[in-house]
Structure 1
């Protein structure tokens, strides 16, 4: 006579099946220390992102590209996210590599990031080899843009499989899914702290004197040195992550995924075809995600530029005040990342106690208040007379740094809650986690395209600053906060499981 399974045995059997489908030779419940190591790759990736976000918009203008066009260069991020990340996730879902489904994509993506940052860092040197002058940096601009776009594609090709691997390892355990995404968010925060701190330091050219030459001035040498540090860092974190778990080759699950009534269906038609099967709660998550990123993207694009231009009253074309402002902005982003990391540690408990939708909504209202404060601070700084000592009042700078720091709290929510919500709600549709992350990413990249195309003309229309983009960000943040609080169901607090 067969003995009935207890609830605990049923959960263990379900998790074991999920682990087998993920192609991971891991226990039914993957140890938290393994999830922690796997998530560590986010630290290396985000280190490079932090350098990109804090230094490259100012550097674009130092190369001679007007402010109105700088956001167009960033258009590659959302475009590559639209195509590359879903495709990489989809391909990893169906990969039969003997090294596993996700790890080969992570390794290839991190290798591409390394190649990209080397290309960006040495753009001025390459331009000098091709005959660029102080007044004409055409070749440097071309190499920089190519490297910049390739870097965005590499980042997007890597992040999808990273998130999907964590989802594979947690299976249908919603609590562990939140924990894994909180780990990922924590490592993103650590990478941000290290990256922004590296970007804020102005003496790297002394540590690496070979980076300074006739084609590459001090700012360029600092940028180059920072990216060389990124190469070392991403190699270390990638090794820690991919050696944390052993993925078994997929055979039968691969056949099951591709054995459908439309085996030759094109990928993008397949991806967009999944939208008609999405339930209402998932559509709501995608909608709030889109509004949230309309709020974040202007800040991501112009945070250090805003500090150098509006707060310090500098000009990107060789003005020391602008450079000082950019470095102060990078320091503000360090504070932002510290708060992000602290918030990530408490994220799972907050969501379990108050509900993910409520936490998400409150965080977006905080975003709205911060962006509104940035607009007020811009107005105050515009009334300052910089001709006296050339620096803004200490109170204005402190207020700007406080705003940057506070924004770390909602950023931690943005980095974790939407991914956990989608991963837990979309699995019943039978999609692979790689494709699921690609579906979520579509709701992120579309608003980024809108902001990239619109922010330059908006700002130019209102005097060439960043205020118009931040006004749009404030409105989108407020709207997304209200929708999240009022429409996303508040889950009941989870009760402790009774062992049987």
Structure 2
């Protein structure tokens, strides 16, 4: 397999900038939109179940079929295109759910559109992960996933900050009557739809995929003679025969993504209650709007940090090991999530986001770099999709239990959900030390 130059790697990964732009808009504003449409804080995690549920179902299926697809667009690119168009449509419709409430309440329509957006993002996202492993030799995969993480960070910063920029610098209204989404959020989603479609279109136009004949020449002896497909049921067989390192990474992913889900769902109500002193049920005041915009800024900061940190991760991994670099990054994120409880002023909130950004940057690259070293080439797509189970399952667990914990254990105080997230992030840091990394240095460093 030929080495790719930096420009080729950049073009191949550029679509992720658009995906993450839309994903950041969703992460920073979905809870705010659902609360505007009438959702209670303790029910937010249930609405957010749309993301992991669709991911658990969609990604292995897309991975399975994209491994077996080849047409005039290529192997992975047809899925990019369909995912981009559907995600753009969902971005346009979600903040306008209140306008299409003919048969159902707006909060249910919003939840349905959130599910459509998540399913569409998953259709586009999983083949992007597999594309890096398809086109790059193992020696370049850490670089490839790090470039992806950098572009993810750039897209996420822009998507997270856009509502604030439109409100504070472009004069777009940031408040609206009860039950209506502010104009700055609506316009941000429109812009996000255009950027997402354009970025994925750029990757489709500029990136060449290897044909099945070319890929057969790259495969180790015997690997091209893979067992014939038994249809989608073969996904379950592949799940039961996954490599040991993949199972070990599954525990790391469980703790990591349980923490991330808590952060995404509960940061807006936590900051509104704990820092801005917003009363429960208040979703139309200027203080609630300021809290929501501040969360966008905070999410932009951690994504910006992750973008810069992604460029440093390959060097850190070479100097230590992949898993040591990942453990250090997760530890920084866990400690900074715990720090949020002790902050009472908005200005201080930016500092913990640095540690969260280090963890996020590593989560988006190091597990995939470690995983791709132990996967068979002809099943890269399906195993990348199956690996998504270890991302979606902890989110489903959190979605079912998180709201109950906040209501009955934390007395409705969402800030404690962020503290819980910090503990889980630290558990992930410990778990990664026991992963068998096939290519990285194997030493355990405490």
TM-score by length of 1: 0.80
Unaligned runs of 5+ in 1: 1-14, 16-27, 132-137, 382-395, 494-500
Shift in Å at residue 364 of structure 1? 1.5
* Closer, same or farther: CA 397–208 of 1 in aligned 2, 3 Å: closer
2:430 matched to 1:456? no
Q: Tell me the equivalent position of 1:97.
A: 71
Q: Tell me the equivalent position of 2:200.
A: 238
SS in 2 for 1:51: helix
2:170 matched to 1:222? no
Bigger shift: 84-93 or 283-292? 283-292
* Residues 287-346 of structure 1: CA deviation (Å, up to 9, x unaligned): 212221112211122223322222111144323212111111211222212211110111
Match of 1:55 among 7, 19, 29: 29
* Closer, same or farther: CA 182–252 of 1 in aligned 2, 3 Å: closer
Q: Which has the larger radius of gyration?
A: 1
Q: Tell me the equivalent position of 1:393.
A: none
Match of 2:251 among 269, 287, 311: 287
Q: Tell me the equivalent position of 1:18.
A: none
Separation in 2, partners of 1:470, 1:208: 31
SS in 1 for 2:358: helix
Separation in 2, partners of 1:252, 1:181: 23
Match of 1:305 among 241, 244, 269: 269
* Residues 453-482 of structure 1: CA deviation (Å, up to 9, x unaligned): 111110001211214423432222222211
Separation in 1, partners of 2:186, 2:231: 41
Match of 2:359 among 390, 406, 410: 410
Query: Between Structure 1 and Structure 2, how many residues are aligned?
Result: 433
Separation in 2, partners of 1:180, 1:242: 17
Shift in Å at residue 207 of structure 1? 6.7
Match of 1:443 among 384, 390, 401: 390
The correspondence of residues 151-162 of structure 1 with structure 2, limited to 5 A, is 151-162=117-128
Shift in Å at residue 43 of structure 1? 0.6
* Residues 235-292 of structure 1: CA deviation (Å, up to 9, x unaligned): 22112211112336647979x99986664x342x422322333332222122212221
* Residues 395-444 of structure 1: CA deviation (Å, up to 9, x unaligned): x22322211233111110001001111111112xx542211211211111
* Residues 106-162 of structure 1: CA deviation (Å, up to 9, x unaligned): 0110001011111113222223xx49xxxxxx5432332221110000011110011
Q: Tell me the equivalent position of 1:134.
A: none
Shift in Å at residue 228 of structure 1? 0.8
Match of 2:319 among 353, 363, 366: 353
Q: Tell me the equivalent position of 1:391.
A: none
Separation in 2, partners of 1:64, 1:484: 40
2:429 matched to 1:481? yes
Shift in Å at residue 376 of structure 1? 3.2
Q: Tell me the equivalent position of 1:370.
A: 336
Unaligned runs of 5+ in 2: 217-221
Shift in Å at residue 32 of structure 1? 2.2
Separation in 1, partners of 2:245, 2:123: 27
The correspondence of residues 84-233 of structure 1 with structure 2, limited to 5 A, is 84-127=58-101, 130=102, 138-170=104-136, 173-201=137-165, 203=167, 217=180, 219-233=181-195
Separation in 2, partners of 1:282, 1:364: 18
RMSD: 2.8
2:365 matched to 1:433? no
Q: Tell me the equivalent position of 1:466.
A: 414
Query: 1:97–1:250: 8 Å Cα contact kept in structure 2?
Result: no
Match of 1:37 among 8, 11, 19: 11
* Closer, same or farther: CA 260–416 of 1 in aligned 2, 3 Å: closer
2:292 matched to 1:317? no
Separation in 1, partners of 2:364, 2:6: 19
Separation in 1, partners of 2:294, 2:415: 19
TM-score by length of 2: 0.89
* Closer, same or farther: CA 194–53 of 1 in aligned 2, 3 Å: same
Shift in Å at residue 214 of structure 1? 8.5
SS in 2 for 1:445: helix
* Closer, same or farther: CA 311–83 of 1 in aligned 2, 3 Å: same
2:38 matched to 1:64? yes
